[in-house]
Structure 1
């Protein structure tokens, strides 16, 4: 069957389309009225439900869109778009993706960098409040639930690899930009975290290859002005990052996780068992079985199983299981299950924060064991500004491993980057981390932050984000 792309949107605040426009029709889906529009150039069907809701972004005159793109009948990806609070017509366009694989970008929206959040003292029946450090104070922000089955996305398609998912993300961007042509010429950035260390480099490379096809007149696609990639606490290259569990476990600023004898034993197992197994598994070589075996060997060889025998939080080792949770942090999960909220944003499925099935599908192909250092290297070599940053209390995708990845990127500035000493990174005179930049590559360690660095240090995150999207090196203020 030919692939018919559908873009299904729910519009909040001010609707830029109406039945008065040529080509629009009415449609009702599960009780929600939509305006539908067939866009011939992209073979797309645009469906828009107009509301006057004040969901999440309540700043006056700031528009938002939410809904679905159906890649085909079995792949329906949910997204939420927020216009920039300041000069949206000249602001860059940024796509945010959470990792997993299989975790919803609503986590990033409500906990890390979106327009609204739940404060620690919020009541269970309350609505979220405005986030003054939201990234849409600077950029037009897109949040996408992918792959299928994650967040509000639904369908029966099995997405089992990073490269497969990248194509769906590109189709979404093409359809969105065709539907909103005022953003088609915008500077574009992709920011992601965790398993986004796989997603980010592969998606950017896919965009670049499609842009080359546009330049060669081999496609009528919209050329995307990709100019920045940001990855925090990313899982990028297993061979470099598995031994970092041992380095970080032995020595970090918060608590010693393993002793010297465990470190030495783990390093021996890494060299004799883990590394050889991983070298049989690359992006293009190694069977799924070989890659899965390599992952399991390395998991136990490098001491990560310590997490199974301790009460620490691997995403933030400052936290123990006995510590009371932040009551407001994840209150948005219940909010997103409310029928009035789902209707307002046009959600057609029940919310799934992280999909175990998605993880199992990616694991079945050995995807977590495959390195995306090569794709990241190509991105850096192309001149796109790249920021690798990490909260330094995260063990799962720790800053030690992220620095090892940054040092391994073979580009014109590599020697200088490796040899350059770190400088303090401050926000308005307060030291919040350390960093180094050579040419278009920056690395940042964020103090007193875990895996969700934007949640723990929102001012640091916003400053580094703004500097990167301005196509300038990050610097202390």
Structure 2
């Protein structure tokens, strides 16, 4: 019977893609999958792609009492898709769109060209070795929406969307479009709740596309992915061990649903965290000390650094409030639903305090907080995918009817207001390692905000059965071809890699190197060379590589791109003034 059901689902999916389809899930009541085959971006002959929505009804999960339309874009592996691994990719934020990485030359099949109209195949796409699914997460991020689309405008200087009283745009400082509702009662505001929506969406996807279902999947993410990847992987493994438990009352299993989804149950092979924010208590102090870095780039004076550090560690300051929040989480909200007012108040205060000082840090430096080598305005990463994803022809090919916004400030702010930023996931990483999950922490060493020293500190604070052996391992070279791409500490399934000359989004800076690290990890090989099995492997070398200095690679010239809000990161004050008074010359969304 199970084989017959899988065959019927496969036949249905093959027939449905001829004209696009709406398919109702057999496993999840009320869930539907709307999809179509895509032929844009991934143009390798014979390699299929699908985009669409998984619609989660308000009745599916009591933790998510509103409709959620989760946008996905799936690409088959360029090699043996029937047997290749399947990997879920999530961008961080919170509130940043995952499909950005599919089309920007990051880890997806293509990169958009400077004309914002055409694309070029990415030879280092991760679908070279794995089936890849990108999901815009959480709802009201990217193309994901709550079922209530509204006409509005986006303020390109701030990135804020106004759907309540939008004025007609008169210049490029506001752009008219169709956006999610912005209603916070129809958003999620915690990693725990977002993870549930992702799990539901993955279940529905595998129900519709059983040919890509695997016993174990890979979950990779970056930035706020230091929260997302561990949380989602943990939930997946819990659901595999206890089918249906994710559907009950928040934080508890529902006996009526147990066993319903065994046919599409799956576990986790690996998680990858790229320049992730995992644990504020461990990582935040390194924001104050990274003025002393392995590039010799001082963003401000030592006196300024000391003043910021004093403020950071003052009684009632960032670190003090973070500790108070952490204790309340343990006492009152271990499940992570932000439903205790004392926890929310304390953790939101900690978030606000720390982010205020981080903002002062950024202002004092005048540099890109995600790449210390770059002085504002930015020339990299390139922004061209924003225009391409807002093209009517592209949106028709994807099956979407709304504007693409790279990052939604309302979603970000709602997460911050719940204090989710402060919630730690170090213990979850340890639990995953003890369950046999491969864990790769990969940090570009030019990132200031989520810098590699803070990531290293997290890796050394993870408690699991082999913690001592991991800490005792030394750093060795990461070799990709004839290039030394960085340094890695690894014991068995756990690795921490410092990638040379990469900023916050490692694959954009070092695409071939990132693909090698990804491939070696998911295939169970050592990160350094890929020649040894990871199980039982121990890297050898020095215990610290802080003294390994680097010289920053050359950077492209600034690009003032009018759709990449907030444009203050990319445009000079004079360019913004010209956009406001109409004197700017704009071609392909670029101010000349």
Find the aligned partners of 1:275 and 1:166 in 2 and give their Cα distance: 27
CA shift, 1:416, in A, is 2.4
Structure 2 counterpart of 1:10: none
Structure 2 counterpart of 1:136: 127
Structure 1 counterpart of 2:108: 114
Q: Is the 8 A contact 1:100 1:354 kept in 2?
A: yes
CA shift, 1:66, in A, is 0.3
Q: Is the 8 A contact 1:67 1:79 kept in 2?
A: yes
Q: Is the 8 A contact 2:224 2:277 kept in 1?
A: yes
Report the secondary structure of 1:160's partner residue. Answer: coil
Show the 5 A alignment for 1:375-454: 375-454=428-507
Show the 5 A alignment for 1:183-198: 183-198=212-227
Residues 254/337 of structure 1: CA separation in 2 closer, same or farther (3 Å cut) = farther
Instruction: Report Cα offsets for 1:403-432 as digits up to 9, x if no partner.
Output: 000000011221222232211112112111
Structure 1 counterpart of 2:299: 257
Show the 5 A alignment for 1:127-276: 127-155=118-146, 157-214=186-243, 218-221=258-261, 222-273=264-315, 274-276=318-320
Residues 71/471 of structure 1: CA separation in 2 closer, same or farther (3 Å cut) = same
CA shift, 1:201, in A, is 0.8
Find the aligned partners of 1:298 and 1:174 in 2 and give their Cα distance: 37
Report the secondary structure of 2:349's partner residue. Answer: helix
Report the secondary structure of 2:229's partner residue. Answer: helix
Find the aligned partners of 2:202 and 2:27 in 1 and give their Cα distance: 14
CA shift, 1:374, in A, is 1.9
Structure 2: state its 5+ residue gaps: 1-10, 59-66, 147-180, 246-254, 333-341, 531-592
Q: Is the 8 A contact 1:333 1:353 kept in 2?
A: yes
Find the aligned partners of 1:440 and 1:42 in 2 and give their Cα distance: 34
Find the aligned partners of 2:33 and 2:205 in 1 and give their Cα distance: 12
Residues 433/187 of structure 1: CA separation in 2 closer, same or farther (3 Å cut) = same
Report the secondary structure of 2:237's partner residue. Answer: helix
How many residue pairs get aligned? The number is: 446
Q: Is the 8 A contact 2:88 2:218 kept in 1?
A: yes
Report the secondary structure of 1:309's partner residue. Answer: helix
Say whether residues 1:307 and 2:304 are aligned partners: no
Report the secondary structure of 1:113's partner residue. Answer: coil
Residues 186/128 of structure 1: CA separation in 2 closer, same or farther (3 Å cut) = farther
CA shift, 1:35, in A, is 2.7
Residues 335/322 of structure 1: CA separation in 2 closer, same or farther (3 Å cut) = closer
CA shift, 1:383, in A, is 1.5
Report the secondary structure of 1:214's partner residue. Answer: coil
Find the aligned partners of 1:182 and 1:400 in 2 and give their Cα distance: 41
CA shift, 1:296, in A, is 2.9
Say whether residues 1:37 and 2:23 are aligned partners: yes
CA shift, 1:441, in A, is 0.8
Residues 261/37 of structure 1: CA separation in 2 closer, same or farther (3 Å cut) = closer
Find the aligned partners of 2:377 and 2:385 in 1 and give their Cα distance: 23
Residues 50/167 of structure 1: CA separation in 2 closer, same or farther (3 Å cut) = closer
Structure 1 counterpart of 2:55: 70
Q: Is the 8 A contact 1:90 1:186 kept in 2?
A: no
Instruction: Report Cα offsets for 1:368-391 as digits up to 9, x if no partner.
Output: 111121222211221200000111
Q: Is the 8 A contact 1:128 1:332 kept in 2?
A: no
Residues 47/163 of structure 1: CA separation in 2 closer, same or farther (3 Å cut) = closer
Show the 5 A alignment for 1:349-388: 349-388=402-441
Instruction: Report Cα offsets for 1:101-128 as digits up to 9, x if no partner.
Output: 0000022112210000035xx334x311
Report the secondary structure of 1:347's partner residue. Answer: coil
Instruction: Report Cα offsets for 1:341-377 as digits up to 9, x if no partner.
Output: 1111111322121000101110111111111212222
Among 347, 353, 362, which residue is 2:400 paired with? 347
Say whether residues 1:94 and 2:104 are aligned partners: no
Tell which deviates more after alignment, 275-284 or 108-117.
275-284
Say whether residues 1:471 and 2:519 are aligned partners: no
**Between structures 1 and 2, the one with greater strand share:** 1
Residues 45/416 of structure 1: CA separation in 2 closer, same or farther (3 Å cut) = closer
Say whether residues 1:320 and 2:375 are aligned partners: yes
Find the aligned partners of 1:272 and 1:81 in 2 and give their Cα distance: 48
Find the aligned partners of 1:380 and 1:407 in 2 and give their Cα distance: 13
Report the secondary structure of 2:197's partner residue. Answer: helix
Find the aligned partners of 2:142 and 2:211 in 1 and give their Cα distance: 28
Q: Is the 8 A contact 2:23 2:32 kept in 1?
A: yes
Report the secondary structure of 1:18's partner residue. Answer: helix
Find the aligned partners of 2:305 and 2:33 in 1 and give their Cα distance: 56
Find the aligned partners of 2:82 and 2:461 in 1 and give their Cα distance: 38
Tell which deviates more after alignment, 287-296 or 310-319.
287-296
Residues 191/139 of structure 1: CA separation in 2 closer, same or farther (3 Å cut) = same
CA shift, 1:262, in A, is 4.5
CA shift, 1:185, in A, is 2.9
Q: Is the 8 A contact 1:93 1:186 kept in 2?
A: no
Structure 2 counterpart of 1:18: 15
RMSD: 2.4
Structure 2 counterpart of 1:29: none
State the TM-score, normalizing by the size of structure 2: 0.71
Residues 452/185 of structure 1: CA separation in 2 closer, same or farther (3 Å cut) = closer
Among 103, 115, 118, which residue is 1:123 paired with? 115
CA shift, 1:272, in A, is 4.2
Residues 423/50 of structure 1: CA separation in 2 closer, same or farther (3 Å cut) = closer
Q: Is the 8 A contact 1:250 1:263 kept in 2?
A: no
